[in-house]
Each structure stands twice: as structure tokens, then as C-alpha cells.
Amino acid sequence: METLTSPQQQSSGPITRGCQWFKALPNKFCDKTMEIVRKTKKLGQDDPRRIVHSLKVGLALTLVSLFYYFKPLYDGFGDSAMWAVLTVVVVLEFSVGATLGKGFNRMLATFVAGGLGVGAHCLATLAGRKGEPILIATFVFIIAVIMTFMRFFPKMKARYDYGLLIFILTFCLVSVSGYRDDQVLKMAHERFSTILVGSCASLIVCICVCPVWIGEDLHNSVATNMEKLGNFFQAFGDEYFEVSEEHDQSSENKKSYLQGYRSVLTSKSSEETMANFARWEPGHGPFGYRHPWKMYLKIGNLTRDCAYKVEALNNYLNCKIQTPVEIRGKIQGQCKRVSLECSRALKEMASTFRKMVRTRSAIVHIDSSKEAAEELKTLLRTNLWEEADLLEIIPAASVASLLLEIIECIEKISEAVNELAKAAAFRNGNATVLPEQPDSIHQGEVQNDSNTAMPVPHIAIIVAE
């Protein structure tokens, strides 16, 4: 039996909810404000250069605003002084390379397009008042078609895409507005002058006040990616063969090492952008004029190829079908040795690459991994799997196969790093051979079973700066 409710009772629900919402509004506002404050603080702590860049933009805009505040400067440029302010807003970027690239594109495009616009206006006036708009429209159509199509060329889009857009904009403004304004030459001159002032102000502030060199960021990014792969191989052996089941600080480090490689898989776009901007930067610090930035992309591509194999290797850690521990133990020694030597090779390359030292110290670890790989191949050719189920064999055999392929990837990375070191004139390092110390997450030596040959003693090459 249904109960009847009065209209007052029916309307009390929304009113009550509305009162509760208004009462909770101050608390929600405070929580939201604190969340924004926490995110802002974290953003600044992650990279303090972001705060400095914000201050630099404010400083540059304040400087160019003086053209409006001081009458002598305003009389020289008039209302066109606003173009200087707009130029600072669009040109001043986070890094020196990006600012130089956009500033050069804007100045060159404005100068060339302004000159062509004045020329188009002069030619159009020769056709008389009736023929002038037809010629101007024709010139605008041709320029727009050509410049837009040029933007599809990969090299033009990578370095001059912004300049081509400014070229179209400036040509249309000068040529079309000249139809109603006879002082087209003065307009083009004022526009170029104010854009020149805005671009120069942006460049001066960007270079002279805490400069951010994008080339240095690219250099460190490539080294960090190699180090992340080295961390994965450092932890993979113990994790796959389950040497220790204790959950301590060391196991937590292993988990972070095993996940760090994922950022390498998505680094292609950022590396290409950084390499493009780095080519605009002048020589600074250890990075000289015409530094071989393109070779960084080659190393990045090889590092990502290795990371894709690492992704496949990581999938076997959580595979539903696992090879029994007894069977895995037969190849444990060789696989762990390959993994450990790959880790040492990558970390050695990352360290010397970051310090811009030219050595071939990583070759020692690559050769050692090859020796372990030959032992692993010999072991796989024996009747090791006779009494095992085929489905149980496949995961362990796939892991061994991937480790063998990864050695080739690391060797290619080493060759690319050596080529870059030679082209960029890295300084030579004096190498001293010392006994290798145990890795931080390995508390003991790898124990080989009866089928495993005795391991070759590991050595590390310490580079003296």
C-alpha cells in the first residue's frame, strides 16, 4: 500500500540538500585551495627553473611596456609598439634554443614578407584602381598556397613552421591593408622594428638571466634513459629467479628499477623536439658550435629498441605459465650473469656519457656478457629439456633468447655512443682497472649449479676525470 506525502514534505528534500550543500561549500573551497597549493608547490619543487622562467617573462614584458609608458619612445613607434609586447608573449620560451628559433623565424619572416608585401602593393597600384584588388587577391592566393604547402615538408615543419605562418600573416597584413592605406612602407617599417625590439628583448632576458640550455637537457635525458635500462637488468635476475623472497628496502628498490624503463618507451617525441631546439643554441660549456645533436636521436632510437625488448622481458615476470623453479635453476647462473653484465655496461656508458668522457670501458662488460651468452647457448643445445613439458619450457627459453638479443642491442648502443664521443670531441679518460664491488641490491655472489661453468671475474673501469 502506497503512502501519500504532502507537497510540503516533497519539497523539503531539495531544500534540505541545498542547505547542506551551502554548509559544506566553505570546506570544499578550502580543500580545493589546499589541493591547488600542494600541486603548485610540487610543480615548483620538481623543476625550480619553471619559477625562474615565469619571472623572466614578467621582466621581459615590463621592459617592452616602456614603449607605451614613455612618450619619447611612444612617439617613435606609435600604436605599433603593441607588436613588441605581443612578440614577447609568443617568442619567449622556456629554453634558449626554443626562444632563438622562434625569434629568428619571426624576425626573418616579418622582414621578407614585409618586403614582398610592399612590392606586391607597388605592382598592384600600376594596374589602376580597378585592377589593384584583383592583383592583390591573386598575390595573396599564390603566397598562401605556396607557404602552406611548404609546411608539409618534414624539415621545413621541424625548424621553420612558425616562420612560415608569420610569413603568411605579415604578407596579408601589409599587402591587403595597403589597399586602404597609402603609407604601406611606413607600416611595414614600424611592424618590423617593433617585432625586432620584442624579439631582442626576449633573447636578452632568456640568455642573460638564468639561461636554460635545451641541449644540456637532451644530453642528460639520453644518459638517464640508458641508466634506467641498466637498473632494470640489475634487478631482473633476482626477480625472475626468485633468489630472495624477503620484502625489505632492497626489494622495494628492485620494484622501482623494474618499472623505470617505461618512460624510455615514450621519449621519442620529446627527444626530437629537444634536438630540434638544441640546433638553434650557440656554443656553451662543453657543447661547442655545430654540436652533433642528430646523433643523440640515433642513440635514443637504439635505446628505445632495447626498451621494447625489455618490455617483452618484463612480461615474463608476471606470466601465467611459469617454468618450474627446478628447470629455471639450470640456466640461472648464465642468465643472471648476462643480465648483470648488461646492467654494468649500460650504467658505465651512462656515467661516462653524462661526464662527456671518451672511453671504451663498457666493452669489458659487453665481452663478459658475450662469454656468458656462449655458455648459455651451449647449455640450451644440450638435452636440458628432455623430461620437461613443452609449455613449461617456452617461457624460460624465451627469456634466454631475449637476453641474447639484448646483448646485440647494447653493443649497438655502445658503438653509437663511441661515434658521438668522437664527433663531439669528448675528452679522453684515464682508465684504471679495479676489482668490481657488489651491486647495491645484490647481497651475495650468484651461485652456479653443476651445469654452469665458473664465472669470469668481473672488473670495473673507473674513469678518472
Q: What's the confidence (pLDDT) of residue 275?
A: 92
Same domain, 138 and 249: no
Same domain, 137 and 258: no
- Count CA atoms closer than 13 A to 84's CA, side-chain side: 26
Residue 5 is assigned to a structural domain of this protein: no
Q: What's the confidence (pLDDT) of residue 256?
A: 66
Residue 43 is assigned to a structural domain of this protein: no
10, 24, 27, 29, 269 from 16: Cα distances, Å: 11, 12, 18, 20, 53
Last residue of a domain, one of 178, 208, 238: 208
Residue 219 is assigned to a structural domain of this protein: yes
Domain boundaries, position 193: 48-208
Same domain, 304 and 251: yes
Q: How many domains does the chain have?
A: 2
Residue 460 is assigned to a structural domain of this protein: no
Same domain, 143 and 248: no
Q: What is the 3-state secondary structure (H, E, C) of the chain?
A: CCCCCCHHHHHHHHHHHHHHHHHHHHHHHHHHHHHHHHHHHHHHHHCCHHHHHHHHHHHHHHHHCHHHHCHHHHHHHHHHHHHHHHHHHHHCCCCHHHHHHHHHHHHHHHHHHHHHHHHHHHHHHCCHHHHHHHHHHHHHHHHHHHHHHHCCCHHHHHHHHHHHHHHHHHHHHHHHHCCCCCCHHHHHHHHHHHHHHHHHHHHHHHHHCCCCCHHHHHHHHHHHHHHHHHHHHHHHHHHHHCCCCCCCHHHHHHHHHHHCCHHHHCCHHHHHHHHHHHCCCCCECCECCCCCCHHHHHHHHHHHHHHHHHHHHHHHHHCCCCCCHHHHHHHHHHHHHHHHHHHHHHHHHHHHHHCCEECCCHHHHHHHHHHHHHHHHHHHHCCCCCCCCHHHHHHHHHHHHHHHHHHHHHHHHHHHHHHHHHHCCCEECEEEEEECCCCCCCCCCCCCCCCCCCCCCCEEEEEEC
Same domain, 402 and 352: yes
- 65 phi/psi in degrees, rounded to 5: -70, -15
Same domain, 180 and 292: no
Regarding beta strands 430-435 and 459-464, do their DSSP bridges make them parallel or antiparallel, or are they unpaired? antiparallel
Q: What's the confidence (pLDDT) of residue 433?
A: 37
Q: What's the confidence (pLDDT) of residue 463?
A: 43
Same domain, 82 and 66: yes
Contact present, 304 and 267 (Cβ < 8 Å): yes
Same domain, 195 and 305: no
Q: Residue 339 and residue 232: Cα distance in Å, rounded?
A: 9
Last residue of a domain, one of 142, 176, 208: 208
Same domain, 179 and 242: no
Residue 93 is assigned to a structural domain of this protein: yes
| Widest pairwise Cα distance in the chain | 99
Residue 439 is assigned to a structural domain of this protein: no
pLDDT tens digit at each of 465 positions of the chain: 444 444 544 445 677 777 877 777 788 888 888 888 898 888 888 888 999 999 999 999 998 888 777 777 667 666 677 888 888 999 999 999 999 999 999 999 989 998 898 888 888 888 777 888 888 889 999 999 999 999 999 889 888 999 999 999 989 888 887 666 666 777 778 888 888 888 999 999 999 999 999 999 999 999 999 999 998 888 887 777 774 445 444 555 566 667 778 888 988 999 999 999 999 998 888 888 889 999 999 999 999 999 999 998 888 887 777 777 777 777 788 888 888 999 999 999 999 999 998 887 888 888 888 888 888 888 777 766 666 677 777 788 888 888 889 999 999 999 999 999 999 888 887 543 333 444 444 433 333 443 433 344 444 444 443
Q: Which residues pair with 64 in a beta bridge?
A: none
Q: What's the confidence (pLDDT) of residue 387?
A: 66
Same domain, 273 and 413: yes
Residue 13 is assigned to a structural domain of this protein: no
- Assign residue 267 the CATH number of its domain: 1.20.58
Same domain, 125 and 203: yes
Q: Residue 336 and residue 298: Cα distance in Å, rounded?
A: 29
Last residue of a domain, one of 208, 237, 260: 208
Residue 32 is assigned to a structural domain of this protein: no
Same domain, 55 and 124: yes
Q: What's the confidence (pLDDT) of residue 250?
A: 54
